[in-house]
Structure 1
Amino acid sequence: MIRSKKIHKKYADLEADIDAIIQNFETAGKAFGNQDRNTLKEFRLGYQEVIVKSFRVPNIINQIAYKFFRKSKAERSYTYANKLKELGVGTPDPIAFYEFETLFLFKNSYYLSVHVEADLTYRALTTNLNYPNHEAILRAFTRFTFDLHEKEIHFLDHSPGNTLIKINKDSYDFYLVDLNRMSFGNLDLETRIKNFARLTIHKSMVEIMSDEYAKCIGEPFEKVFQLMWQQTEAFQAKYHRKQRLKKRLKFWKKYD
Structure 2
Amino acid sequence: MQENFIIHPEYSQIATKLHDALTRFSEIGEYVTKGERNVIKRVEIDGFSLNIKKFKTPNAIQSFVYQFIRKSKAKRSYEYALKLIDFGIKTPFPVAYFESFDAGLKESFYVSAHVNYDFDFRVLIHKPKFKNRTEILKQFTQFTFRLHENGVNFLDHSPGNTLIIDNGDNTYDFYLIDLNRMRFEDMTFENRMHNFRRLWLSKTMIKIMAEEYAKCYGKSFEETHAMMLKYSRSFQKAKNSKKLRKRRRKNFL
TM-score with structure 2 setting the length: 0.95
1:194 corresponding residue in structure 2: 194
1:109 corresponding residue in structure 2: 108
Matched, 1:160 2:159: yes
> Helix, strand or coil: the match of 2:41?
strand
Contact 1:74 1:97 in 2 (8 A): yes
State the Cα RMSD in Å.
1.5
Contact 2:66 2:105 in 1 (8 A): yes
Contact 1:200 1:206 in 2 (8 A): no
1:97 corresponding residue in structure 2: 97
2:20 corresponding residue in structure 1: 20
2:143 corresponding residue in structure 1: 144
2:238 corresponding residue in structure 1: 238
Contact 2:200 2:236 in 1 (8 A): no
| Residues matched between the structures, number | 252
TM-score with structure 1 setting the length: 0.94
Displacement of 1:200: 2.0
In the alignment, structure 1 segments of 5+ residues that lack a partner are: none
CA distance change for structure 1 residues 66 and 128 in 2, over 3 Å: closer, same or farther? same
Following the alignment from structure 2 to structure 1, what is the Cα–Cα distance between the partners of residues 183 and 56?
23
Displacement of 1:221: 0.7
1:173 corresponding residue in structure 2: 173
1:135 corresponding residue in structure 2: 134
> Helix, strand or coil: the match of 1:32?
strand
> Helix, strand or coil: the match of 1:237?
helix
Following the alignment from structure 2 to structure 1, what is the Cα–Cα distance between the partners of residues 248 and 64?
30
Following the alignment from structure 1 to structure 2, what is the Cα–Cα distance between the partners of residues 83 and 243?
36
Displacement of 1:242: 3.1
Contact 1:51 1:114 in 2 (8 A): yes
Displacement of 1:83: 0.7
1:76 corresponding residue in structure 2: 76
In the alignment, structure 2 segments of 5+ residues that lack a partner are: none
Following the alignment from structure 1 to structure 2, what is the Cα–Cα distance between the partners of residues 212 and 107?
45
Q: 5 Å matches for 1:219-238?
A: 219-238=219-238
CA distance change for structure 1 residues 196 and 34 in 2, over 3 Å: closer, same or farther? farther
Following the alignment from structure 1 to structure 2, what is the Cα–Cα distance between the partners of residues 235 and 32?
29
> Helix, strand or coil: the match of 1:89?
coil
Following the alignment from structure 1 to structure 2, what is the Cα–Cα distance between the partners of residues 154 and 34?
27
1:67 corresponding residue in structure 2: 67
2:206 corresponding residue in structure 1: 206
Letter in 1 for 2:165: K
